[in-house]
Structure 1
Amino acid sequence: MTDITVRALGDEEWQVYRDVRLAALKESPDAFAASASHEEGFDDDLWQARIKRSRRLVAEDGERVVGVVSVGRVGEESEKVSELFGLWVNPELRGKGVAWKLVDAGVRQARDDNYNFVLYWVGTDNGRAVAFASSYGFRPTDGRRPMQSSDDDEDEMAMVYPLGDDPGAVPSSVL
């Protein structure tokens, strides 16, 4: 395997984001609140606007995009909390450190953008995802919400990663 690199996409690379986003939705339809069939209907203007709303980071194996994560602000009311979302890795590279590199780059981006916390929502029944986030340093919180991608009664848990000097601080405004 070639060395995996992670980089932020520029606004002019909206087609790269579109292509990896649609690949993720097709490959892992239950992992996202959206569907490939819905997003395939988006026009170019919407994709161009969408890439500007959040930082879009891609993992690349040579010239091939093999993963993606987005980093953005949590709501309009919270200027101090960033959120990681839309994490996806090509199945052939899962378990090989690509997700770690994407999350690490997302956390560094949030720090560079002067956020104090990074929020990451994880399915409470997804032990592997909870373990992964915990091993990186995200801590579980009492924050829960219904899982957006599931018709079941599953919940997501807010996990938080503090970027400031107080590793015990948890932002109450997002929970």
Structure 2
Amino acid sequence: MSEITIRALGTDEWETYRSVRLSSLEESPEAFAASAAQEKDYDEDFWRTRLERSRRLIAQDGDDIVGVVSVGDRSTDEARVGELFGLWVTPRLRGQGVAWKLVEAGVEKAKQESYKFLLYWVGTDNGRAVAFASSFGFRPTDSRRPMKGATQDTQDDDEMAMVYPLGDDPSSVPSSVLD
């Protein structure tokens, strides 16, 4: 493994985002609300709109794209809130710090865009993801929602909002942040 680099995709790199997104959906279908079958036929305008709507950060090992994460806007009237989502790392590099680097870059991007908090929804039964987010500094909340993209087998599964304060007062999280 060479040095892992993280970079933001530009809106003209829709094909790169499409490729890594479809790879993630194919490799880890249980981790996402959508499926590769649903998204593979979307047109260029769809992918460009996605790139304009949220920041897409990729991890590269040389020329190979080995991970992705997105930072979107979930702001409320009370607070400027970002949301971290779509985190994926190729299986051969899991547990080697790639996810950490992606989340770290996502936090920096959120700070640059003046967000005060960053939300990350994690499956309540996904102990590894909860532990990872907690070790990074995300705090669990009482806010729950049904798992997006639930199947017959997972229809009773919940996600929990975890929050990462980005402002000067890490103890103050308005309840509207979790709405």
Same topology, TM > 0.5: yes
Deviation of 1:107 (Å): 0.3
Q: What is the match of residue 35 of structure 2?
A: 35
Match for 1:14: what amino acid? Answer: W
Q: What is the match of residue 60 of structure 1?
A: 60
Q: Distance in 1 between matches of 2:79 and 2:89?
A: 29
Q: What is the match of residue 173 of structure 1?
A: 176
Q: What is the match of residue 156 of structure 1?
A: 159
Instruction: Find the residue that maps to 2:144 and give its secondary structure.
Output: strand
Deviation of 1:48 (Å): 1.2
Deviations 1:82-128 (A, max 9, x none): 00000000000000000000000000000000000000000001110
- Contact residue 76 and residue 176 of structure 2 kept, 8 A: no
1:105 partnered with 2:105: yes
Q: Distance in 2 between matches of 1:30 and 1:129?
A: 13
RMSD of aligned alpha carbons:
1.2
Change (3 A) 1:75 1:111: closer
Instruction: Find the residue that maps to 1:156 and give its secondary structure.
Output: strand
Deviation of 1:167 (Å): 1.2
Match for 2:112: what amino acid? Answer: D
Q: What is the match of residue 72 of structure 1?
A: 72
- Contact residue 31 and residue 149 of structure 1 kept, 8 A: no
- Contact residue 17 and residue 56 of structure 1 kept, 8 A: yes
1:126 partnered with 2:126: yes
Q: What is the match of residue 13 of structure 2?
A: 13
Number of equivalent positions: 175
Which deviates further from its counterpart, 11-20 or 72-81?
72-81
Deviations 1:109-152 (A, max 9, x none): 00000000000000001110000000000000111000113322
Deviation of 1:13 (Å): 0.6
Change (3 A) 1:77 1:18: farther
- Contact residue 2 and residue 61 of structure 1 kept, 8 A: yes
Deviation of 1:41 (Å): 1.2
Normalising by structure 1, we get a TM-score of: 0.96
Normalising by structure 2, we get a TM-score of: 0.94
